[in-house]
């Protein structure tokens, strides 16, 4: 069944049709929520709240954007609300990034460059990036949204999105360069 | 080391591109959609039951007020004589008890049944 048909069915209160919508978009929501909320114990609950909001507000969807863009926007704002509630919005910033330093001392530079270890280190670095950077790299690289769509989702101007992407990438690359130049 | 730098740079770019497009390792549980639909159904049923309860309650209150008002205008003296009966004794307690039983039946028991399913 086409997505527009499913949406119409859900608008008429069909929860079974909504099950298909959940199945089709749960990966997208899980990616966004897990990259923004970070705390694994809370991700599932936030994802549930996202889909409950999607269900409650589906009548507001007019098809002006892609349905996935609309869902991503709800997921993004739900995450911000969740973090605001927990007063954790500014808890992490990349200046006090201890993750990479710790791993360097734990494992040594040559181990860091082994494939799995590098992935683990860089995933930790991504998680230690500021929220705005984490959001744009997830939406752009992982979910392949365009600048315009990211603007619709987050409300950030296109210029800010581009500069956030550039800075996030520069930080990650610098961490990688440091690791590789330290190699014996 | 300087000679290796562009090569390392390129290698890092490739690695970074791969890493940025790699899915996070968090996966939602297999029964996520089922649990979600169950939760939505429970919320919907609760809202519907509450609305039904409030509608019936406001209808009953409306009828009481209409009868009371009519009786008051037709027979003011007798109405004032009813005041102690309404406000004193068991009448408010019985009224609250009936209201509670009605609420249990219409909302709480249905919610508990939904949660058990």
Mean pLDDT by groups of 10 residues along chain A of 184 residues: 89 90 94 91 93 94 93 96 75 40 40 61 84 94 95 96 94 78 52
Interface test with B, best of A6, A20, A21, A30 (most B CBs within 10 A): A30
Q: State how far residue B28 is from chain A, nearest Cα, in angstroms.
A: 7
* The 3-state secondary structure of chain A, one letter per residue: CCHHHHHHHHHCCCHHHHHHHHHHHHHHHHHHHHHHHCCHHHHHHHHHHHHHHHHHCHHHCCCCCCHHHHHHHHHHHHHHHHHHHCCCCCCCCHHHCCHHHHHHHHHCHHHHCCHHHHHHHHHHHHHHCCHHHHHHHHHHHHCCCCHHHHHHHHCCCHHHHHHHHHHHHHHHHHHHHHHHHCCC
Q: State how far residue A119 is from chain B, nearest Cα, in angstroms.
A: 7
Q: Is B23 exposed, middle or buried (0-12, 13-18, 19+ CB in 10 A)?
A: exposed
Q: What is the ipTM of this complex?
A: 0.71
Find chain A residues with C-beta within 8 A of B40's C-beta: 15, 18, 52, 55
Report pTM: 0.74
- Residue B98 CA to residue A94 CA, distance in Å, equals 61
Q: State how far residue B62 is from chain A, nearest Cα, in angstroms.
A: 31
Contact A15/B at CB under 8 A = yes
Interface test with B, best of A36, A53, A141, A168 (most B CBs within 10 A): A141
Please tell me the predicted confidence (pLDDT) of residue A179: 65
């Amino acid at each position: 069944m086409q997505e527009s048909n499913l949406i119409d069915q859900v608008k008429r209160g069909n929860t079974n049709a909504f099950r298909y919508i959940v199945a089709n978009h749960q990966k997208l929501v899980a990616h966004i929520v897990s990259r923004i909320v970070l705390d694994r114990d809370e991700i599932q609950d936030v994802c549930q709240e996202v889909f409950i909001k999607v269900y409650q507000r589906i009548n507001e969807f007019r098809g002006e954007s892609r349905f996935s863009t609309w869902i991503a926007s709800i997921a993004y704002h739900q995450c911000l609300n969740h973090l605001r509630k927990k007063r954790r919005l500014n808890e992490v910033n990349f200046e006090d990034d201890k993750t990479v330093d710790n791993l360097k001392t734990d494992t040594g530079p040559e181990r860091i460059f082994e494939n799995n270890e590098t992935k683990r280190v860089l995933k930790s670095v991504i998680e230690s990036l500021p929220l705005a950077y984490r959001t744009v790299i997830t939406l752009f690289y992982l979910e392949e949204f365009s600048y315009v769509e990211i603007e619709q989702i987050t409300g950030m101007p296109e210029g800010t999105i581009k500069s956030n992407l550039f800075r996030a990438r520069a930080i990650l690359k610098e961490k990688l360069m440091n690791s590789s130049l330290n190699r014996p | 080391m300087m000679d290796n730098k562009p090569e390392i740079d390129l290698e890092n770019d490739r690695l970074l591109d791969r890493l940025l497009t790699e899915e996070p390792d968090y996966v939602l549980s297999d029964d996520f959609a089922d649990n979600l639909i169950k939760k939505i159904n429970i919320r919907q049923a609760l809202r519907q039951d509450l609305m039904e309860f409030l509608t019936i309650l406001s209808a009953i209150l409306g009828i009481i007020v209409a009868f009371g008002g009519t009786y008051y205008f037709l027979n003011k003296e007798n109405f004032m004589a009813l005041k102690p009966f309404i406000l004193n004794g068991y009448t408010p307690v019985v009224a609250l008890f009936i209201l509670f039983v009605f609420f249990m039946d219409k909302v709480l028991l249905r919610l508990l049944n939904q949660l058990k399913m």
